Structure 1
Amino acid sequence: MLCYVQVKETFLQKFLELEQTAKEQATDNAILDQLHKMVQVEIPPSLFEEQGRQLYGAQLLQIQANMKLNEQQLSSLSSPRAVREYLQNQKENITNIIKQNLAVGDIFKRENLQVLTDELINEVENSIAEFKRHNQEYDEERVRGQVQEVLEGAKVLEWLKERADIQYITK
């Protein structure tokens, strides 16, 4: 039987873990927010649409995995009208993501950062296993590209956090 002190210590440990996770997420979000503000570029409509469709497709996959939509529901959510509405409603968010990706890619190249081959292979295998687990179709090259992009982003965030002067304000 757990005594009061053990319960208190367990809650305190969980709280500290949650606080650390929230702090790390807030740091990442603040860095990404600053990155997209630094990029001053006109986004080509084709790039905007491609990124928007990828984001929408990822959301559909998540919804499908969580809710097990039937064919009619999935077809309705996949309609050109639904995609168009998503692109219109998420225009600012999609544009910011594109700018963040451009900034991350530029920093990754300029600073000669690298993703280890083993990391890439493991993450691609994990992603493909996840697609298979949910009986979802996938394009291995596209998965590889997306995993590469995510890993590069993580390397850039790590690099920036090591070099940034970060000040936390607590209320």
Structure 2
Amino acid sequence: MGAGNTARPVSAMRLVIHFFGVWFGGMVLFGLLAFMAAGHGIELRNDAAGLILVFIASLTSGHLWYRRENAVPAPGRMLRAALLCMLFLAIFHAAVIVAIPARIPQFPAFGRLSQSGREMLWVVLAGAALFLVPVARIGLGLGIRQGCKAAEKVAERAARKVARQG
């Protein structure tokens, strides 16, 4: 194979950018699907969409990670990558919680919430981020396992080809 077959270390920032790109792209696609469904009078509600998208994004990031490094990373490194992904996701959610209500007149601005209301939003955000860390860690692990299986299949095919020729 080409460049994907050489072992190169993957930076944590590259994994986070890949994770966030897949997650954000999935959110945009889900939003478009919900918008189109609403145009036809169909209510599309999926409370687990965010959870599913975090899992898919971490799964693809794990697969990318294995394909680039050709080795299973240490469990601590996987946990650190999952924590970084969730940190960036929490920062994005915090920005949305603060910025969007202040820009849309139909929503009360974040600044006009009571102190207990603000604290409740931050607690919910922190709880969601902590809940999603194991989901991202499992997704990274499964993506790496998929990468291992794909590499084994390629090696097996190559060995069969060599055996037939020799």
Both structures adopt the same fold (TM-score exceeding 0.5): no
Greater RCO, 1 or 2 (C-alpha within 8 Å, sep 6+): 2
Normalised by the length of structure 1, the TM-score is 0.28
Normalised by the length of structure 2, the TM-score is 0.28
